[in-house]
Amino acid sequence: MMIDNDKLSSLDALVRGFDDPVHDAQACFRVLLDALARPGTAYSIDVALGDDAQRRWPAAAFAALLTLVDFSTPVWLQRRDESLAQAIRFHTGAPLADAPEAAAFAYIADAASLPAPDAFSLGTPEEPQGSATLLIRVDALEGGRPLTLSGPGIRSSVRAAPLGIADTFWHARAALATQAPCGVDCYLVCGRSVIGIPRTTRVELN
């Protein structure tokens, strides 16, 4: 049987996913749940990924995409990235969304040009689970604008200072508070580290 050389080249160029898809996805899912349950607390996603993936994207972001998305959850990529698009389609079966509002998940490679949260699906009062989840790559989880986080999962308050997100995003997010339970859940990712900020968390700029 003849094998198309173009297909072989595509397979050779494909970025490898998890070493152990079932075990690694379960481990990653637990970390992601913990991150949303304890907003503002940094967690590490310590699953094995190929060196190529870690050179291209934050390991936490790629692992989260491999874990959370499937054929029923369209993914929007802020920046055109055919390698990532190909990896998502191959490893998860998820379709790529053409616009933010059509996405169940979004990967934001450039936090400085992050769209306003209402550019994404906020869900409805009847189906708040229909909202989008944002994976936002930041330059660092410290050293940025100081934030005070409070709400469910936080005793009193916690501080965070992600580097790279404009104040306008936080202001726009705060304006959505009146639409609860609608909103967007956010993961801030840097390398293997991740911080969860669910829609129920109140964020104040200091």
Q: What is the pLDDT of residues 120-162, one digit of tens each?
A: 999 999 999 999 999 999 999 999 999 999 999 999 999 999 9
- Please report the pLDDT score of residue 8 as a whole number: 37
Q: Tokens for 119, please give them.
A: 């550019």
In this structure, what CATH number is given to the domain that contains residue 22?
3.40.50.11310
Distances (CA, A) of 199 to 121, 141, 150: 12, 19, 11
In a domain, 10, yes or no: no
In a domain, 1, yes or no: no
In a domain, 9, yes or no: no
Judge whether 196 and 32 are in contact, CB under 8 Å. yes
Short-list 142, 204, 146, CA closest to 173: 204
Which tens digit of pLDDT belongs to each residue from 166-202? 999 999 999 998 899 999 999 999 999 999 999 999 9
Domain span at residue 162? 16-205
In a domain, 8, yes or no: no
In a domain, 130, yes or no: yes
Query: Which region, left, alpha or beta, applies to residue 40 given φ > 0 means left and ψ of -120 to 50 means alpha?
Result: left
Under the banding of pLDDT at 50, 70 and 90, the label for residue 54 is low
Q: How many domains does the chain have?
A: 1
Which tens digit of pLDDT belongs to each residue from 85-119? 999 999 999 999 999 999 999 999 999 999 999 99
In a domain, 7, yes or no: no
In a domain, 73, yes or no: yes
In a domain, 162, yes or no: yes
Strand arrangement, sheet containing 105-108: 42-44, 193-197, 185-190, 133-137, 105-108, 75-77
- Please report the pLDDT score of residue 93 as a whole number: 97
- Please report the pLDDT score of residue 56 as a whole number: 82
